[in-house]
């Protein structure tokens, strides 16, 4: 399966792709559910108006791929406690700032006087800690395998230079165990659009066992709407031919074997551990914790953040959305009580959340 040459315009490629999709969907001949497990794909599907371009028997379902959305309520509440620690500067990716806790958010804590800074890169947190050694800096480390190798590199650099005033709240997640959990949780999925930039790191081989076990094709897909259409087309062609396996649409960046150096860096700082996800609950071996030799960077231990028994956000069905059990409009709060201006759940907060994408793009 090859992509058309890129000299062709996007409009022409889109037209050809829709014809290819229609043929493949016809050959499949039944209703199929295709899940994307990356918030950036969710956003691209909305932005490109892809739902309207697909044949009627192809349903797109969003999965647990937005890092902010899958962060458990327990972690959110504990991050808020950490942010209130006197004298501490908390650095966070911007997506986290408005995620609601039961009684607060990082944004509200900042208005109330907490020193919370939005950073584009974990390198900025390290630079701040080194520039101002008397300042205590904690970084809220969320994200999938695209992001965690960079955080690992920062930790290894901090360790190498004996930086004593930096810590992290480690809440990284691994995507493949979550895909297993979705399937085991009762969502019928016929194909996965797998995340392009996670796949850059872990390689397309990482999905092969899942593909075999559940007889489901997987296609690592790029992020422009035409990429996503092509990825879905490849999945439908696999289904039509009864093929499973892990394939790559996003050959511009995803290489066989992934980025070993990034993965090795990750495993020098972190070890695989059980993790708690919003909606999916505890999933074995689905997260990362600091390796013993780096545990002095653990913000939870350093600032004695207590465990907090999480309370569900009242009425919020983000958990069912993340499991692919319902589409956002099926939540009674969608567009009524829960909007991007006044979000109740994290899937409405993050621009990559499936509720926010549905709200904005329909």
Partner 1 sequence: MCLAIPAQITELDGARAKVELSGNVLDADLSLIEDAREGDWVLLHAGFAIEKLEPEDAEETLKLFAEMGEATGDVPSV
DSSP SS3 for 120: coil
Shortest distance, CB of residue 157 to partner 1, whole angstroms?
8
Calpha distance 196→176 (Å, rounded): 13
With 0-12 / 13-18 / 19 or more C-beta atoms within 10 angstroms meaning exposed / middle / buried, residue 124 is: middle
Q: Does 248 bind partner 1 (CB under 8 A)?
A: no
Question: Quick one: which of 82, 200, 220, 313 contacts partner 1 (CB under 8 A)?
Answer: 200
Shortest distance, CB of residue 332 to partner 1, whole angstroms?
28
DSSP SS3 for 66: coil
Kindly give the pairing relationship between strand 32-36 and strand 58-62.
parallel
Calpha distance 36→232 (Å, rounded): 10
With 0-12 / 13-18 / 19 or more C-beta atoms within 10 angstroms meaning exposed / middle / buried, residue 184 is: exposed
Shortest distance, CB of residue 195 to partner 1, whole angstroms?
6
Question: Quick one: which of 38, 91, 216, 305 contacts partner 1 (CB under 8 A)?
Answer: 38
Range in contact with partner 1 (rule: CB under 8 A) among 182-190, 237-245, 258-266, 300-308: 258-266
Q: Does 195 bind partner 1 (CB under 8 A)?
A: yes
Question: Quick one: which of 161, 188, 255, 295 contacts partner 1 (CB under 8 A)?
Answer: 255
Calpha distance 309→75 (Å, rounded): 10
With 0-12 / 13-18 / 19 or more C-beta atoms within 10 angstroms meaning exposed / middle / buried, residue 16 is: middle
Shortest distance, CB of residue 125 to partner 1, whole angstroms?
10
How many residues in the shown chain lie near partner 1 by CB under 8 A?
Answer: 52
Range in contact with partner 1 (rule: CB under 8 A) among 55-63, 103-111, 137-145, 329-337: 137-145
Which positions from 214 through 233 interact with partner 1, judged by CB under 8 A? 222-227
Calpha distance 231→171 (Å, rounded): 29
Binding residues vs partner 1 (CB under 8 A): 6, 9-11, 38-40, 43, 47-48, 66-68, 93, 95, 120-124, 142-144, 146-147, 149-150, 153, 157, 195-198, 200-201, 222-227, 251-253, 255, 259, 261-262, 265, 350-352
């Amino acid at each position: 399966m090859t992509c058309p040459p890129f000299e062709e315009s996007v409009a022409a490629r889109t037209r050809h792709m829709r014809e290819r999709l229609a043929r493949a969907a016809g050959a499949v001949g039944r209703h199929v559910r295709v899940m994307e497990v990356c918030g950036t794909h969710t956003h691209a599907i909305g932005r490109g108006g892809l739902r309207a371009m697909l044949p009627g028997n192809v349903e797109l379902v969003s999965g647990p791929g937005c890092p902010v959305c899958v962060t458990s309520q327990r972690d959110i509440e504990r991050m808020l406690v950490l942010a209130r620690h006197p004298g501490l500067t908390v650095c966070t990716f911007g997506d986290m700032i408005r995620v609601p806790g039961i009684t607060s958010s990082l944004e509200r804590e900042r208005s109330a006087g907490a020193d919370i800074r939005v950073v584009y890169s974990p390198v900025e947190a390290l630079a701040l800690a080194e520039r101002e050694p008397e300042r205590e800096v904690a970084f809220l480390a969320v994200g999938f395998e695209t992001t965690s190798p960079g955080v690992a590199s920062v930790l290894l650099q901090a360790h190498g230079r004996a930086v004593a005033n930096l810590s992290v709240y480690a809440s990284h997640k691994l995507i493949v165990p979550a895909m297993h959990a979705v399937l085991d949780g009762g969502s019928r999925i016929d194909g996965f659009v797998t995340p392009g930039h996670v796949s850059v790191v872990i390689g397309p081989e990482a999905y092969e066992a899942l593909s075999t076990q559940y007889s489901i094709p997987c296609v690592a897909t790029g992020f422009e709407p035409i990429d996503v259409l092509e990825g879905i087309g490849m999945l439908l062609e696999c289904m039509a031919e009864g093929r499973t396996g892990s394939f790559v649409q996003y050959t511009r960046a995803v290489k066989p074997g992934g980025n070993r150096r990034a993965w090795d860096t990750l495993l020098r700082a972190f070890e695989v551990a059980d993790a708690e996800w919003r909606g999916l609950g505890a999933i074995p071996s689905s997260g990362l914790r600091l390796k013993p030799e780096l545990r002095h960077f653990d913000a939870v231990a350093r600032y004695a953040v207590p465990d907090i028994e999480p309370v569900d956000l009242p009425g919020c069905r983000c958990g069912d959305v993340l499991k692919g059990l319902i589409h956002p409009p099926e939540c009674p709060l969608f567009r009524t009580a829960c909007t991007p201006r006044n979000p109740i759940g994290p899937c409405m907060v993050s621009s990559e959340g499936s509720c926010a994408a549905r709200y904005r793009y329909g």
